[in-house]
Amino acid sequence: MCIRATTSLGGTASNVIVGKVAHGLMTMTNAPKPVPDEQCFEAIKAGVDALPPGTKMFLNGGEFYGHNFSTTNLEMIARFFEQYPDYVDKTFLSIKGGLKPGERLPDGSPANLRRSVELINEKLRGTKRLDLFQSARVDPNVSLEESIRTLVELKQEGKLDHIGMSECSAETLRRGNAVHPIAAVEIEVSPWEYGEEAKKGTSSDIIFCNFCWSSSSSIWSVIATAEELNIAVIAYSPLGHGFLTGQIKRLEDIPEGDFRRSLPRFQEDNFKHNFAIVDALTAIARSKNVTSAQLSIAWVVSLGKHVIPLPGSSHAERTRENCAAGDIELSTEDITEINSVINAADVKGDRYAHQAYLWG
């Protein structure tokens, strides 16, 4: 299988060509019992091997993507590159960090950002450059400009190559980019995560989307601002943390210890109600002879040439399926039908139990 669809990153990484669908590595290590290395490695290789020559796979990991905020994700990544050094130059490694150690709280102070970047490099053990660093959230207690200037210093010291942002508003993205060009911004985008602003608007500034772009705290305003500033959008959880695949039909289908058990949208009171959007999207997918997961990823792809879906996968077959979705072409009629489902949906439950640091 060879995937045709590619795109470029932005800012200082504008010359980097990546596959149109990225690969998230969080699920490989964030449970009490991590996925075996061999399975993880085959899943990573499957995505890389599907790309045309000269194209890099955008890999996304995290300093704290291990059980109880451990660094097992970084350690797994290091073992992969130690075992498969030929894949170093075929991948672009993005790592999120910048939380308080052992807590789900952002700390954008110079001291903590330096600690985070240096720990990431220590755990990678020189196997792979830190191509892109992102603070996982925006710290409201520290000047954003000071945080970005600290990352610029770390870049000048050779400890990272490019700077990204995550879970920020359009206004905050613009402020960060004014200090130093931002290569990529990561936000959650999927057919069930489109923001209430989406239902209020009828603007058609983007060819395939009749949604409102006015609010700074909406995915639409972030995407529009990123396009204006030449910043790639890394659209994480395009499958709604797996919910939109249709494979999770009840809470019991999620393993014990999996963080999704704590998500409000997966709770029993919301589960059956939210499955309505899955049924509707599955029907459209069947008519196109694709999976519901591929339909969701293809819809995210349609939002812009600089939008890169970031599904997670710890299985080679699923990785190949996800990557193939980048080549699916949705017609205007297809997107109108999908948008109708999205507009009609009444998704119940917040994204996370901890909402305070979203859209910083």
Q: How many domains is the chain partitioned into structurally?
A: 1
User: Looking at residue 224, what is its pLDDT?
Assistant: 94
360 assigned to some structural domain: no
Q: How many CB atoms lie within 10 A of CB 134?
A: 26
For residue 167 the two structure tokens come to 């879970």
Q: Percent of the chain, pLDDT > 70?
A: 83
Q: Which residue would you say has higher pLDDT here, 340 or 204?
A: 340
Which three-class secondary structure string do you get for the chain?
CCCCCEEECCHHHCCCEEECCCEECHHHCCCCCCCCHHHHHHHHHHHHHCCCCCCEEEEEEECCCCHHHCCHHHHHHHHHHHHCHHHHHHEEEEEEECECCCCCCECCCHHHHHHHHHHHHHHHCCCCCCCEEEECCCCCCCCHHHHHHHHHHHHHCCCCCEEEEECCCHHHHHHHHHHCCCCEEEEECECCECCCHHHHCCCCCECCECCCCCCCCCHHHHHHHHHHHCCEEEEECCCCCCHHHCCCCCHHHCCCCCHHHHCHHHCHHHHHHHHHHHHHHHHHHHHCCCCHHHHHHHHHHCCCCCEEEECECCCHHHHHHHHHHHHCCCCHHHHHHHHHHHHHCCCCCCCCCCCCCCCC
The answer to whether position 331 is within a domain reads: yes
Residue written as tokens 């603070």?
135
Task: Confirm whether 352 is a catalytic residue.
Answer: no
Q: What's the mean pLDDT when you consider all of the chain?
A: 87
Asked if residue 350 is part of any domain, the answer here is no
The burial class, CB within 10 Å (0-12 / 13-18 / 19+), for 100 is middle
Could you tell me the two tokens for 36? 């075996």
pLDDT at 276: 79
pLDDT score at 271: 66
Active-site pick, 65, 87, 194, 236: 65
Residue 24 domain flag: yes
pLDDT bucket at 321, cuts 50 / 70 / 90: very high
Determine the pLDDT at residue 205: 39
Report yes or no on 354 lying in a domain: no
Q: Compute the average pLDDT of residues 281-308.
A: 95
Is residue 357 domain-resident?
no
The CATH number of whichever domain residue 30 belongs to comes to 3.20.20.100
In a domain, 349, yes or no: no
115 inside domain: yes
Strand 6-8 and strand 17-19: the pairing is: antiparallel
Domain that holds residue 292: 6-344
Task: Give per-residue pLDDT as tens, 135-191.
Answer: 999 999 999 999 999 999 999 999 999 999 999 999 999 999 999 999 999 999 998
